Amino acid sequence: MKEITKSYADESILNTLGEYAIYLRKSRTDIEAESKGEGETLARHEHILIDLANKKGLKIGKIYREIVSGETIEARPEMQKLLSDVKQGKWKGVLVIELERLARGETMDQGLVSKAFKISNTKIITPIKTYDPNNEFDEEYFEFGLFMSRREYKVINRRLQRGRIMSVKEGKYVGSVAPFGYDRVKIKGDKGYTLRKNIESNTVKIMYNLYAYDDLSIGDVTRKLNKMGLKPRKNNEWSVATVKDILANPVYIGKIKWNVRKVVKIYKNEKLISTRPRNNDYILVDGLHEPIIDQKTWEIVLAKRSLNSPPVTHHKVIQNPLCGLIICAKCGKKMKRRSYSKYSKEPTLYCDNPKCDNVGSKFCYVEEKVLEGLKKWLEQYKFDFKKYLEKINYSKIESIKETIASLEQEAKRENDKLLNIFNFLEDGTYTKEMFKLRSEAVSQSLTQINNSIKKYKIKLLQEEANKNEIIVPHINNLLDIYSLLQTPEEKNSLLKTLLTRSYIFKNREINKKRF
C-alpha cells in the first residue's frame, strides 16, 4: 500500500475549530484500479469530499486517512481514532465517500460503528445522502446499508477465492511477491501472472547443488553462500531459515502450491487474531513457469531433508541406532525409542501418534530384523557399486561445472554494476564520495565471487583427476562390523549409508508372537 505523500487539501487551510471530519479508506476495488494506472484513490476521494463540504458550507477540522487495508476495526488505526473522537462528541458529522467505507467487515464492528454515531448524535454525510442516526428511517437505512455491504463483501471474497484457486489449478502464480530466483510477469493474451527466471536463479542452483552434491548441512550451505559473496534479495546475508525454505519450495521444479498456510482465526486473550498453521491438504500442481532445478536434484534434496538430524540437544548423545530410519507403516510418522531403565525392561520402538493403532515392538527384535533384511538384500541383489560411484562422481562434476557457470554470471553482473558506477561518476550522477562508497562495495563482492570461482575450478580439476581412481568398497563387509561399533551414534551413521527408511507394521495378532 502506497503512503499518501500529497494531499488535495492543504493542511494549513483546515479549520482547527471545524465541526466536521473526513474519513478516507481504500476498498479492494480501488487497489485493483490503482494497479491498472487509474490514479491515487484517497486523493481523488478527498477532492470530492472537500468540494462537497464547500458546497454545504461545512468547516473541516480533521482528515483521517487510512493508508492500510484491514477487514476489522482492530486492523485500521485511523478508524479507531475516528471512533474515539466520535464517542467524545468531537464532530457534528463525518464525511465519507460511501457508507460501506466505515464498516464492511464483521457484524460486531458494524454494531460498534452504529452505536458510536447514534449515542454521540454524529451525522454521516456522503455525496448521495446524509444519515442522521437518531432519525428512525435513517437509522434503518443505515443498518440495512451496512448489512448489504457486509453481504456484498462476503460474495466478492468468495468469488475472489474461487478465482484464485482456479488460477492456481491452471498453473498461474497468484502470489503478490515472486519467490527468490523469479520475477512475476503478466501472461500475454490471458489473465493472471506467471514466473520468469531472473539472475537470482543462479544462486538458487548453487544452493541446491551445494546441499545435494557437496554433502553439506543447511547451516554449511548458508555460510558458504555468504562466504561466496552471493546475497539474498533484501538482506546482506543469508539466514538458515531462508535457505531451508528455498530448499523445500517445489516452485523451483516448476510447481505451484497454494493454501499451505491457510488463515485461521482464533480468540487469544479475548482478542480475535489470525494464525497461519501448516495445512496438509494444500494444492500442488504443475505451473506455467520454467523450473530452475531438475527433478533428480530435487529428489536428492528431498531425501536428504527427510533424514534430518534427530532432535538431540548439545549435551546429549544419540541412544537409538535406528534413529530416523524406522517409519510407522500406518501413519507415516518416525517411530521413537522408549527406554525402561527404571523397571529393568528392554527398550521398545513405538509410534507416538495418539490416533495410530500400530503396535510397538521390542527394540532388539526390530534391530535384528533390519540387519537380517539388509543382509538378504545384499546377497540377492548384484549391486555394481563401481558404476554407482562413477554416476555419483559424474553428478558432482556436472554440479561443480554448473556452479562455476552460475558464479561467472554473478561476476558478470557485478562487473556491469561497476561499469555503471563509473558512468554515473562521469555524467555527474554520483559524487566522488558516493562513487568511492559504491565501487568499494561492488569490488569487494566481485573479489569474493572470483575467489569462489578459482576454488571451484581447482575442485573440478581434482574431481576429474580422481574419476578413474574410484575404490570399490566391500559393501558386504560393512554389516559385519556393525556389532563391533561402540556407540549407537556410530551404528546409526553406518546404517544411514545403506538405508533410507524402513517401514514397520504390526497388529495385535502378531503381538502375541515373539515379534
Chain centroid to CA 382: 44
Cα(424)–Cα(69) distance, rounded to whole angstroms? 39
Strand partners of residue 20 = 60, 93
Architecture, CATH, for domain 11-166:
3-Layer(aba) Sandwich (3.40)
- pLDDT-derived band at 252, boundaries 50, 70, 90: very high
Q: Quote the cell numbers at residue 373.
A: 533384511
pLDDT value for 39: 45
Span(s) in the chain for CATH 3.90.1750.20: 182-306
pLDDT value for 441: 80
pLDDT tens-digit profile of 152-184? 667 767 777 788 888 888 889 988 889 999 999
pLDDT tens-digit profile of 366-392? 888 888 887 777 665 545 555 555 555
- Farthest CA pair distance, the chain: 97
Pair type for strands 123-125 and 130-131: antiparallel
Q: Quote the cell numbers at residue 487.
A: 556407540
Pair type for strands 255-258 and 130-131: unpaired
Cα(117)–Cα(112) distance, rounded to whole angstroms? 9
pLDDT tens-digit profile of 27-53? 655 555 455 444 477 888 888 999 999
432-466 and 218-228 are packed helices; what angle lies between their axes, rounded to 10 degrees?
A: 130
pLDDT exceeds 80 at position 314:
no
pLDDT tens-digit profile of 262-284? 666 666 666 656 676 666 777 88
Strand partners of residue 25 = 66
Q: Are 205 and 405 in contact (CB under 8 A)?
A: no
Q: Answer with the residue of higher pLDDT: 316 or 134.
A: 134
pLDDT tens-digit profile of 82-108? 999 999 889 999 999 887 777 765 667
Cα(91)–Cα(284) distance, rounded to whole angstroms? 53
Q: Answer with the residue of higher pLDDT: 26 or 389.
A: 26
Cα(3)–Cα(66) distance, rounded to whole angstroms? 9
In this prediction, residues 412-441 reach a mean pLDDT of 79
Cα(56)–Cα(287) distance, rounded to whole angstroms? 56
In this prediction, residues 404-433 reach a mean pLDDT of 81
pLDDT value for 453: 83
pLDDT value for 12: 44
pTM: 0.48
Strand partners of residue 314 = none
| Poorest-pLDDT segment among 9-23, 299-313, 357-371, 467-481 | 467-481
pLDDT exceeds 50 at position 1:
no
pLDDT value for 110: 72
The SS3 of residue 476 is: helix
- pLDDT-derived band at 315, boundaries 50, 70, 90: very low
Compute the mean pLDDT over every residue in the chain, rounded to the nearest whole number.
Answer: 77
pLDDT value for 219: 84
Cα(132)–Cα(137) distance, rounded to whole angstroms? 9
Span(s) in the chain for CATH 3.40.50.1390: 11-166
Q: Is 421 exposed, middle or buried (0-12, 13-18, 19+ CB in 10 A)?
A: buried
Backbone Cα Rg of the chain: 32
Q: Quote the cell numbers at residue 345.
A: 525392561
pLDDT value for 182: 93
The SS3 of residue 365 is: helix
pLDDT value for 272: 59
- How long, in residues, is the chain? 515
| Poorest-pLDDT segment among 264-278, 279-293, 444-458 | 264-278
Q: Answer with the residue of higher pLDDT: 190 or 386.
A: 190
| Poorest-pLDDT segment among 137-146, 205-214, 306-315 | 306-315
Percent of the chain exceeding pLDDT 70 equals 74
pLDDT tens-digit profile of 461-486? 766 655 544 433 445 566 677 777 77
Architecture, CATH, for domain 182-306:
Alpha-Beta Complex (3.90)
